[in-house]
Amino acid sequence: MRLLYFTDNNSDHNHRFLEKLAASGHEVFYLSLAGAPLPSFWLPRGIHLVETSRTFPRHTSPSELEVFLPELRSILKDLKPDLIQAGAIQSCAYLTALAEYHPMLAMSWGSDLLVDSKKNSEWAEATKIALAGSDGLFSDCDTVSQRARQIVPIAPERLVQIPWGIHPGVFTPAGEKTQLPFHDQDYLFICTRSWEPIYGIGVLLRAFELAGKREPRLRLLLIGHGSQESEVLNFIEDRELEDRILIPGTVSGPDMPRYFRSASAYISCAESDGTSISLLEAMATGLPAIVADNPSNREWVTDSSNGWLATIASAESFAEKMLLAVKQSPSARAEMSFRNQQIVEQRANWDKNFPLLLSAYDNLLAMTRTEK
């Protein structure tokens, strides 16, 4: 099969898909609205890059992306893929729907349906066009699937719902830790989400400040960057939290497990999520997790069983959950660690889940051929 993988960013998540596709036996082409990925060896061996004359920042409005439509049509005419996997919904899936190319498997990134589809009338209309123009939808959780069905009818056989999952054996409690400038008695929270409004970085900082006034052992490890970097750094400096909040800068993928092993618990204040890879990585490492009480997170975290659910956008609620985590007994901590490792092993094994996507490709092709 000749597959075109069409995306609007060159993220680690896309790289994970391409690694698997490179070993699938299919002829795979990679088209990114962000342009050619850097460094050049980012693209797995065997994946063919489709070069473009234009690039676009992520979250460019649907109407602004329409200038790419003639070039996309030309690419599709030359390439003639048997199947297109296109996402995010309002960018690549939208453009593919406008190009009227089939079959197309629309791929949701979670926030595109849970957040972006509600931005305004333009984004709502682009969402509807993309979903209506697709032949199937790839979703990673119930919450995203249900949201899509609220917008357009989707037959069950055309819905591919698979948790993205993580590679087994990479994020584990056993192994090397990163040496950090903290003491053994400190309780270290780790957050690996981008510093963007959607991920609640401001809520996290306020929650940490509140909880830290009652528990001096609290420490915070912020791995990431983003558009709110100046706000983050100013908050830390103004509150004189430099000795309690550590920002190590960019951390490469192979180094990330060591940072997780150095932490006591994971925390994310993102208001909306699909299946969060960061959460799965933390759970696989055996960390209890504090996350926002939204439907997607409730698919993975049960309050007080393997972590805690905090009220969305409430620094006070997150602070209370942080204090509960610190008060855990060693035995309760061990039980949570075991539960989280088991959950990931049973439900989020990327090696086991990915073949389901390959089977979905075949099913979608068969259905569309029958309809011709």
| Structural domains in the chain, sorted by start | 2-165+349-371 (3.40.50.2000), 187-347 (3.40.50.2000)
Place of tokens 């999952």: 165
| Residues listed for the chain | 372
Take residue 126 and report the two structure tokens written for it.
Answer: 């682009």
Residues 6+ away with beta carbon under 8 Å from 148:
108, 113, 131, 137, 139, 154, 159
Mean pLDDT of the chain: 96
pLDDT-above-90 percentage for the chain: 92
Exposed, middle or buried by CB within 10 Å (0-12, 13-18, 19+), for 327? exposed
Asked whether residue 290 carries a pLDDT value surpassing 80, the answer given is: yes
107: three-class secondary structure by DSSP: strand
pLDDT tier for residue 143 given thresholds of 50, 70 and 90: very high
Average pLDDT over residues 315-344: 97
Residue 164's pLDDT is 82
pTM over 0.75? The answer is yes
Note whether 79 and 99 are within 8 A (CB).
no
pLDDT-above-70 percentage for the chain: 100
Residue 273's pLDDT is 87
pLDDT tier for residue 372 given thresholds of 50, 70 and 90: low
pLDDT tier for residue 331 given thresholds of 50, 70 and 90: very high
Residue 238's pLDDT is 98
Nearest to 232 by CA among 205, 251, 250, 194: 205
Asked whether residue 218 carries a pLDDT value surpassing 80, the answer given is: yes
pLDDT tier for residue 173 given thresholds of 50, 70 and 90: very high
pLDDT tier for residue 63 given thresholds of 50, 70 and 90: very high
Asked whether residue 249 carries a pLDDT value surpassing 90, the answer given is: no
Residues 6+ away with beta carbon under 8 Å from 191:
201, 204, 220, 221, 222, 223, 224, 266, 267, 268, 269
Residue 42's pLDDT is 92
27: three-class secondary structure by DSSP: strand
Average pLDDT over residues 166-195: 95
Rounded CA gap, 88 and 355, in Å?
Answer: 21
Nearest to 282 by CA among 266, 271, 297, 293: 266
What is the amino acid identity at position 44? P
Average pLDDT over residues 72-93: 98
Residue 369's pLDDT is 83
> E strands, 198-332, where?
218-222, 245-246, 265-267, 289-292, 307-310
